[in-house]
Chain A
Amino acid sequence: MPIAAVFQYEMQSLLKSWLVRLWLVAALLMALIIVMAGWAVLTDAILISVTLATFLVFPWFLVIIVLGVSASTAGRLDSAADGILSRPIKRWEFLTGIWAARVLTVWAVSAAVLVPAVIVIVAGDRPKVAETQPVTLFGMLAALAIILVVLAFLVSVGVLLGTLFKNAWLAMVVLLFVWYPINAILTTFHLAEFSPVSLDQAMPTILQKTWPSRDQESEQESAGPIQAELQRQAEEFIRNLTGTSHREPQSREPEFFRNADRYADVSVVKVIASYGGLTLLLWGATMLVFYFRDL
């Protein structure tokens, strides 16, 4: 019951907050502009992926992190200590209620923007655009599942940093200094599943996926020796460090999604499991930090 009470209280606070209201309006507006701009020129898969990029990469990524960071900063915990944590509630119950409310709010805003956008893109009477492969139901469900788990992960990153640093601004600065190098390192090692940028590039492929058959699964399992792949990644990392990389510079839009084929073997289950696992890990770390904190 205390978790439910805190969850409800937090949801109430978030729905009344100007940040969430403005975010919803701005996200709807941006989605509308993107859909209108790509209406006659982009394929379904690319147009959906561009819309998703606003949440996974920029700019809503920052709003999501801010929502997470502000959950447990010092100023906020002052009022929580006086009003809530001095009552019969355990710390894990409080933090779980707060975290769940923030994740659900982010999901709700994203769904409120993305679901109508996807429906309009897929079902709308658009001019024929050359399409190699159509968007599938499985692809859309898989993309939705990935988006939900990545958003939960981003909120968890924010909550952990807010708890760790108490000061919201400091937490944000640290995040920016840590997050972007991590993205670069993950990209170097071809761990596409761990990088939201790469993930968004893989979205057109994911959206066109069909229900996996047994043959496909066994094919994936026996793919390439792991040792050789690791060696290749290490060599590439060293080339990057020494400035002798032979990779061509990555281009952004409109070529952002041009090489989506290289993500053909991306595993939806692996992505969800990785982000899900990391989210649980972050949640645990946040609990630990919060448990040892004086209020």
Chain B
Amino acid sequence: MDAAIRTEHLTKVFGGVVIAVNDLCLTVPKGAVFGFLGPNGAGKTTTLRLLLGLHRPSAGQAFVLGRPCGIDAADVRAMIGFLPTNPKFPPHLKPFEYLNLVGRLHRIPSDVRIARISSLVRAVGLLPVTDQRIGTLSTGETTRLGIAASLLADPPLLLWDEPTAGLDPAARRFALDLIQELRHDRTVVVATHILADIDRVCDHVGVMFEGRMIFSGTMQDMKRRLRQEGITLELAGSRDALRKATEVLPNRCQVEHRWVSENVLSLTVEEGAGRAKALADVLHVLAEVGVDLQSIQSGHGDTESAYLNLLQEDQSHGFARFQDSPRPTHADRGGVPV
């Protein structure tokens, strides 16, 4: 599998005291929409900045599309469209002027650049504010400008750091819809702590905690880690019908059930059973006993539960976490046997 991003024991220690990224080994496959998940201060932004060469790694190395990242790796940055969190762009410039500057930095010829900027400004909905200075734009408009800047050179890799932070619902929806459109022909990395965003757009996910990657895999892998795969049904029916459903369900369906309230039933699919078949059986039983279905919720809280489980598991491992770290070899110590 080709990797869009690969890091090998990447470590960043600020001022020799603050460990921001801790021995990070990460692989992001090409063409993935990778959700970079973690609580505030987990090291997501620092990792992205290490990839961009804005920070110098304390140890380890990183590669983007096979090329090594570094302070002067302008060739790597040319392949990346970066959207910073709460972007700070030159406040005295107007959107078109700023995009023109970015285009020139990407060495895009003038005729192509101007046409592309014009279409991008329109696509991200910045036409009404083209005569305003960036310093006067709202958070949403500045983010849209950042999105336009990240797409200007049509890079194969997008690094978007908290693209929905501080956005109103319409702007948030715009950003997420755009990710789904862009996923077809490039790799997108979305760093966020908003689980709903990850759930909606990502097919791969990496969970970072205290500077370490504690999980990396597909969304399905992550959800499979849940010990209980819950489905919540909101029902309508007589007391008798509901009681009868309670009696029949254990015998005919591969699920465990629990009444959350008088008419809300929580189901847990048994180990090894297919979710689709189990759910079909349950619905069949409910129809038989005369219970109507008001609503069904499945998977909405899965990512959250899986995420929280991962954090708890990582904390419970304690010192065992150290065992995974690289050990120095004789060669590292100058060949002196110990």
Chain A residues packing against B (C-beta within 8 Å): 1-2, 4-6, 9, 12-13, 16, 78-79, 81-92, 291-292, 294-295
CA distance A1 to B102 in the complex (A): 11
Chosen A-B contacts, 13 in total, with CB atoms closer than 8 Å, are: A2-B107, A5-B104, A5-B105, A12-B97, A13-B90, A79-B88, A82-B84, A83-B89, A83-B149, A86-B80, A88-B105, A294-B54, A294-B55
6 more CB-based (< 8 A) A-B contacts, given A79-B90, A90-B72, A295-B55: A1-B104, A86-B77, A86-B80, A87-B77, A89-B74, A294-B14
Residue with the highest number of chain B CB atoms closer than 10 Å, among A16, A92, A294: A294
Interface residue tally for chain B (C-beta within 8 Å): 31
Complex A-B, nearest 9 residue pairs according to Cβ-Cβ distance, in ascending order? A5-B104, A88-B78, A87-B105, A79-B88, A88-B74, A83-B89, A82-B84, A295-B54, A86-B82
In the complex, what residue of chain B is closest to A292 when comparing beta carbons? B56
Residues of chain B with a CB closer than 8 A to A9's CB: 90, 93, 101
Closest chain-A Cβ to B126's Cβ sits at a distance in Å of 16
Q: Is the CB of B88 within 8 A of A78?
A: yes
Pick the residue among B49, B75, B98 that contacts A83 (CB under 8 A): B98
- Tally of A-B Cβ pairs under 8 angstroms: 79
Q: Is the CB of A87 within 8 A of B106?
A: yes
Residues of chain B with a CB closer than 8 A to A82's CB: 84, 87-89
Chain B 9-42 near chain A by CB (<8 Å), digits 1 or 0: 0000010000000000000000000000000000
In the complex, what residue of chain A is closest to B72 when comparing beta carbons? A90
Closest chain-B Cβ to A110's Cβ sits at a distance in Å of 24
Q: Is the CB of B88 within 8 A of A13?
A: no
In the complex, what residue of chain A is closest to B76 when comparing beta carbons? A88
Residues of chain A with a CB closer than 8 A to B75's CB: 88
CA distance A81 to B55 in the complex (A): 10
CA distance A295 to B12 in the complex (A): 13
Closest chain-B Cβ to A75's Cβ sits at a distance in Å of 9
Given A1-B104, A81-B54, A295-B49, also A90-B74 (CB < 8 A): yes
Q: Is the CB of A13 within 8 A of B92?
A: yes
Residues of chain B with a CB closer than 8 A to A6's CB: 105
CA distance A87 to B63 in the complex (A): 17
Q: Is the CB of B55 within 8 A of A84?
A: no
